Amino acid sequence: MKRLVESSGVEVAFREVDVVTTGTFGAMCSSGAIINVGHSDPPIKIENAWINDVPISHPGAAVDLYIGATAMSERQPFEYGGGHVIEDLVSGKEVELKATSYGTDCYPRAHVKTRLTKDDLNQFYLLNFRNCYQRYNCAVNGRDETIYTYMGKLLPRLRNATFSGAGELNPLMNDPDYETIGIGTRIFLGGAQGYVIGEGTQHDPQNRFGTIMVRGDATKMSPEFLRGASFTRYGTTLYVGLGIPIPILNEGLAKKTAIRDEEIFTSVVDYGVPRKDRPKLAQVSYKELKSGKITVGDKRIRVSSLSSLKTARKIAGTLKSWIAQGEFFLTAPVERLPVDSVFKPMRQTEETPFVANVMQEAVTCSESEAVQAIAERIVTRSVNHIVVVDGNGKLTGIVTSWDITRALAQGKTALADIVTRRVITAKLNEPLETASKRMAQHNISALPVIDNEKKVLGIVTAEDVSKLLGR
Amino acid sequence: MVRILLRFSENIVEKPITSQIILELRVPINIITAHVDSKGGEVLAEVPDESLVKVVKAFRERGATVSIPKLIEIDSEKCISCGACLTLCPVEAITMDEDASVVFNQEKCLGSTCSACVDACPSRAIKSVKQNNSELTANKAH
Ligand code: SF4
Ligand code: SF4
């Protein structure tokens, strides 16, 4: 379609193309499967359940369970989780169910342990409450250390970038006004046929971050399109393969489905900043993302995807051949996806403390001062940390009362000899919790607060933090 | 060819040990990466299988520590060609070809001494494996 519109125009494309198939294969954390395991004899009203050591939720009556993709194995956390349990069941493997209960008059049993395959289940439906993000952020890390996120392993100081999503192949991107997508739309899901059952959670159509909720019979699915996955130090998830056929009902849709990667933009976001609204450093197109290099400021950064373009293409191709062979029939949605929902942040009734809330004025000195003078300042100002600054108030080091005591004992007089120059710092708008964690991590009791130009704004101490956080 | 990892301590790092051994044994030693400064050095090199024992022996006699790093392998059954490993590789041993398949070039890979890609793989498809019997052979050099 994309090439046809380019070469022959929208009108011809509209006449010649009936359906455009799309596909995506990526990590979709808000996925899971609902299963019914049948009744044991005597019966049990399951209160807690585990499959292969992964805690399984029990949202309903006695033996209905929901395997959440991100639930992690108690024995191998971060390596095996709900996504892997779903993949194992789909592959026909046997899994171990353990369940406990308090026992009732009608459900007397307190423990059960058994092995199951998908053939032993009454229902096994993939039931994903948020899939198929229309597009997603491109992630980088501005911090000085490597971080592990749901966007993968991010090297320090913007040394790599990751992105997710299939760009021009993405289902929702090809029908951005959801003319053909809604409740009842039949789709490709995990290698079988499934359905859209409504808008996904956090559906945010106005910002082109639409999502869908989907359901499909998992017993018919294939592990090629449904894979358990592990993100180091983040957790487990499920890679879901999903494709939507878009019927070309009007010229408008012919034009929309001709969308190219160069027309789809997303933001490069600094995941090193521990806030909900992370700084956006640049705008890039999916074309640049797929090229392997992006530009942020004056930096060229290597970028790679987390979702599989190869499998996305295979999904779109499979869907196409199913339709051509009459194995798949398109459906009109009973109700279209909403185009006006708003994605609200959490209403917080308790205030979250930030560094700015507890920061105090920093007692400073310059490097040319004598140890004796600093010792006096520590006593008169009754502080434990003196921040060393240059003539412009910029951070150059830190000395503690302990450093001074030791220097005096050893007869050292020059401050320059005892200053710690690799200073761990905090930012004004940083949550107190992360600052406090950093202090614990480095086993220190204060952090100078600096701005982006390294100018010292104040100091936050462990003492002040524990007063406020009560720990 | 077998890959060996050589470590030189501060005391011997200034000596031209590698060139001495190449000249003396008349064995080609291919240096893949080298990080050397006044505090010591770490060199990843490749030597022909048949000369492994004498090369290892020669380095050990001159005070260097020799170990056989494991090779990195990508399990193609498990790999989903997502690409998450690509940008972590310092030597571009992992690339994506035209049809979006991820391709691994073991020749270029630095082996288990690097391992930067291993914990980035969501499918856990990247593993380190022993080089064929080379560990056993190398230990004969004691
Ligand atoms: S181990 Fe290192 S060199 Fe080898 S492929 Fe992985 S990142 Fe590249
Ligand atoms: S990260 Fe793992 S699954 Fe993804 S391309 Fe690399 S080896 Fe394959």
Tell me the ipTM for this assembly.
Answer: 0.82
Residue of A nearest to B125 (CA): A229
> Closest Cα of chain A to B8: distance in Å?
28
pLDDT along chain A (471 residues), means of 10: 86 92 95 97 96 95 96 96 98 97 95 97 97 91 93 96 94 94 97 97 92 97 97 96 96 94 95 90 95 94 95 96 96 94 89 89 91 90 93 93 90 87 91 90 93 92 82 54
Q: Are residues A293 and A359 in the same domain?
A: no
Residue B136 has pLDDT above 80, yes or no: no
Confidence of residue B14 (pLDDT cuts 50, 70, 90): confident
Residue B137 has pLDDT above 70, yes or no: no
Non-local (6+) Cβ contacts of A171 within 8 A are A22, A23, A24, A132, A181, A187, A242, A243, A244, A246
Residue B133 has pLDDT above 80, yes or no: no
Q: Are A158 and A140 in contact (CB under 8 A)?
A: yes
CA–CA separation, A234 and A373 (whole Å): 48
- CB-CB neighbors (< 8 A) of A27 in chain B: 122
CA–CA separation, A23 and A167 (whole Å): 10
CA–CA separation, A269 and A456 (whole Å): 26
Instruction: Dig out the tokens for B62 from the structure.
Output: 């001159």
Sign, CA dihedral A273-A278-A283-A289, equals positive
- The answer to whether A306 contacts B83, with C-beta atoms less than 8 Å apart, is yes
Last residue of a domain, one of A316, A347, A378: A347
Confidence of residue B1 (pLDDT cuts 50, 70, 90): confident
In chain B, domain spans: 2-67, 73-128
- CB-CB neighbors (< 8 A) of A160 in chain B: 87-88
Size of interface A-B (CB pairs under 8 A): 69
- Cα dist from A141 to A135, A147, A155, A274, A279, whole Å: 20, 7, 6, 11, 11
Q: What is the DSSP letter of A265?
A: E
- The answer to whether B100 contacts A79, with C-beta atoms less than 8 Å apart, is no
**Quick one: pLDDT at residue B140?**
64
How many Å lie between the centroid of ligand 1 and the Cα of residue A178? 43
Q: Is the CB of B121 under 6 A from ligand 2?
A: yes
* Multiple choice CATH, B73-128, 3.10.20.740, 3.40.50.12160, 3.30.70.20, 3.30.2130.10: 3.30.70.20
How many Å lie between the centroid of ligand 1 and the Cα of residue A285? 28
**Quick one: pLDDT at residue A1?**
82
Residue of A nearest to B92 (CA): A302
- The answer to whether B122 contacts A239, with C-beta atoms less than 8 Å apart, is yes
Mean pLDDT, chain B, integer: 88
Q: Is the CB of B102 under 6 A from ligand 1?
A: no
Instruction: Dig out the tokens for A15 from the structure.
Output: 């006449």
Neighbours of A266 (CB within 10 A): 24
**Quick one: pLDDT at residue A274?**
85
Residue A300's beta-bridge partner residues?
A295
Q: Which residues of A are catalytic?
A: 106
Q: Is the CB of B84 under 6 A from ligand 2?
A: yes
The values of phi and psi at residue A398, to 5°, are -145, 145
Residue B65 has pLDDT above 60, yes or no: yes
CA–CA separation, A105 and A199 (whole Å): 41
Q: Are residues A212 and A319 in the same domain?
A: yes
- Cα dist from A299 to A164, A295, A451, whole Å: 21, 6, 22
CA–CA separation, A365 and A378 (whole Å): 11
> Closest Cα of chain A to B85: distance in Å?
8
Last residue of a domain, one of A299, A322, A347: A347
Q: Are residues A331 and A359 in the same domain?
A: no
- Cα dist from A267 to A220, A297, A368, A451, whole Å: 37, 13, 45, 24
Residue among A140, A146, A153, A157 with most chain B CBs within 10 A, to mutate: A153
3-state secondary structure B65-127: EEECCCEEEECCCCCCCCCCCHHHCCCCCEEECCCCCEEECCCCCCHHHCCCCHHHCCCCCEE
Topology (CATH) of B2-67:
Alpha-Beta Plaits (3.30.70)
Q: Are residues A396 and A312 in the same domain?
A: no
Q: Which residue's structure tokens are 């009007």?
A: A250
Q: Is the CB of B94 under 6 A from ligand 1?
A: yes
Longest Cα–Cα distance of chain A, Å, equals: 91
Q: Which amino acid is at A179?
A: E
Protein residue whose Cα sits closest to atom 8 of ligand 1: B89
Protein residue whose Cα sits closest to atom 3 of ligand 2: B79
Asked if B80 reaches chain A (Cβ–Cβ under 8 Å), the answer is yes
Q: What is the pTM of this model?
A: 0.84
**Quick one: pLDDT at residue A397?**
94
**Does residue B46 sit in helix, strand or coil?**
strand
> Closest Cα of chain B to A32: distance in Å?
18
How many Å lie between the centroid of ligand 2 and the Cα of residue B123? 7
Q: Are residues A314 and A383 in the same domain?
A: no
Residue among B74, B75, B78, B80 with most chain A CBs within 10 A, to mutate: B80
CA–CA separation, B56 and B23 (whole Å): 15
Q: Are residues A299 and A378 in the same domain?
A: no
Q: Are residues A366 and A296 in the same domain?
A: no
Q: Are residues A337 and A379 in the same domain?
A: no
Q: Are A98 and A49 in contact (CB under 8 A)?
A: yes
Confidence of residue B139 (pLDDT cuts 50, 70, 90): low
CB burial readout A67-86, b (16+ within 10 A) else e:
bbbbbbbeeeebebbbbbbb
CA–CA separation, B119 and B42 (whole Å): 23
Mean pLDDT computed over B4-33 = 88
The whole domain housing A366 covers 355-469
- CB-CB neighbors (< 8 A) of B120 in chain A: 152-153, 232
Which ligand lies nearest to the CA atom of residue B97 in the structure?
2
Neighbours of B123 (CB within 10 A): 21
Kindly report the CATH number assigned to the domain that includes residue A378: 3.10.580.10
How many Å lie between the centroid of ligand 1 and the Cα of residue B90? 7
Q: Are residues A154 and A245 in the same domain?
A: yes
Instruction: Dig out the tokens for A428 from the structure.
Output: 């004004």
**Quick one: pLDDT at residue A184?**
97
Last residue of a domain, one of A347, A363, A395: A347
- Cα dist from A325 to A20, A319, A321, whole Å: 15, 10, 6
Please state the separation of Cα A369 from the chain's center in Å. 49
- The answer to whether A152 contacts B119, with C-beta atoms less than 8 Å apart, is no
Number of domains in chain A: 2
CA–CA separation, A344 and A198 (whole Å): 18
How many Å lie between the centroid of ligand 2 and the Cα of residue A79? 15
Residue A8's beta-bridge partner residues?
none
- The answer to whether A239 contacts B80, with C-beta atoms less than 8 Å apart, is yes
Longest Cα–Cα distance of chain B, Å, equals: 51
